[in-house]
Amino acid sequence: MPTGRPSGTSQQPSRPYPPPRQPNGSKMPNQQPMAGPSSKNLRDKLQYQFPYDLEAKFPAYIWQTWKYTPASGDFGDNFRSAEASWTEKHPGFVHEVVTDQAAFSLLKYLYASVPEVVEAYNALPLPVLKADFFRYLILLARGGIYTDIDTTAIVSTTDWIPPEVPRSTIGLVVGIEADPDRPDWKDWFSRRIQFCQWTIQAKPGHPVLRDVVATITEDILRMKKKGILKNNKIDKSIVEFTGPAVWTDAIFKYLNNPDYFKMEGKNITWEAFTGMESAKKVGDVVVLPITSFSPGVGQMGAKDADDPMAFVKHDFEGSWKPANERIHPERQSDNKDK
């Protein structure tokens, strides 16, 4: 299994600036004009605009989205204690609850040099799709923590990573959402191991975020060209389009990419993460066990919220859905028995 620093992240000696003066009358041999961002493909544009620095600190940002800010009387009392927990556990962090209306203005500013991303976001027909896409976009551009409005911080992010692991070797922290060790797992989940995307910590520019943003952008623009977005007839499920399936695929794609890792032996698959009870570091990615972001769900080996590995509690409100379609883990086993 590849471990340690991804290839290609070592620092190179910087060149002198300004460049040395050339002798009078001399010309730079075979000098080619530098390609600007507009001449690059989407992934290259994103890399140019949001470079990844592994050794930088995790930005002290907490990002959430909701219809209203906590200052509004319409915010919702059921979310107030959960939202406040993130500020209480992270003094000194910038904590932003970005409204749906403000999200588009923010993304227009951050992605002004990558207009196809702004076009794609604006073309999405459903709030849940925009909410999914926003979390990847804000973390790619600014980094920090994204967490859903119905999550409660149990412990500070400073305690998520084992103390013996240097923060300068980590660029992405994810948790396991699902580890369904049962023959009918496909009836319930999209992947045998599924990484959750209701809480993510990342440094800006991380390649996983770059890839998932590019993949979703390309899918949106493809569907827009076919004319199936405006009619709400997208040709993928929400889970596959912007949700945990595309997120999980992007992570596994990265962990098996020889451009970033020195591959030794077989590919990394779900088998590397099933049954985990403690954090596992693979390259610059730390994967947390299911208890960390899904304590108390009562299945798949998740332990209770008072377990030392429980970091974030998710209430599974799914508020963009009708009430009778919202997912609560305790109801899954009940429904299965009916």
- pLDDT given at position 110: 98
| pLDDT above 70 for 329 | no
- pLDDT given at position 172: 98
- pLDDT given at position 337: 37
Confidence at 8, pLDDT banded by 50, 70, 90: very low
Q: What is the mean predicted confidence (pLDDT) over 288-300?
A: 90
- pLDDT given at position 39: 59
More confident call, 8 vs 47 = 47
| pLDDT above 90 for 13 | no
- pLDDT given at position 182: 87
Least confident of 78-82, 89-93, 316-320: 316-320
pTM of the model: 0.83
- pLDDT given at position 36: 54
Q: What is the tens place of the pLDDT at every residue in 126-138?
A: 999 999 999 999 9
Residue in this structure with the two tokens 């369904």, named with its chain if needed: 180
Q: What is the tens place of the pLDDT at every residue in 218-272?
A: 999 999 999 998 766 889 999 999 999 999 999 999 999 988 887 777 899 999 9
- pLDDT given at position 231: 65
Confidence at 154, pLDDT banded by 50, 70, 90: very high
Q: What is the mean predicted confidence (pLDDT) over 328-337?
A: 37
Q: What is the tens place of the pLDDT at every residue in 267-284?
A: 999 999 999 999 999 999
Q: What is the mean predicted confidence (pLDDT) over 207-212?
A: 98
| pLDDT above 90 for 171 | yes
| pLDDT above 70 for 16 | no
| pLDDT above 80 for 104 | yes
- pLDDT given at position 260: 87
Q: What is the tens place of the pLDDT at every residue in 24-60?
A: 444 444 444 444 555 579 999 999 999 999 999 999 9
Confidence at 333, pLDDT banded by 50, 70, 90: very low
Amino acid, res. 172: L
Confidence at 319, pLDDT banded by 50, 70, 90: very low
- pLDDT given at position 324: 36
| Mean pLDDT for all residues in the chain | 84
- pLDDT given at position 326: 36
- pLDDT given at position 315: 87
- pLDDT given at position 277: 93
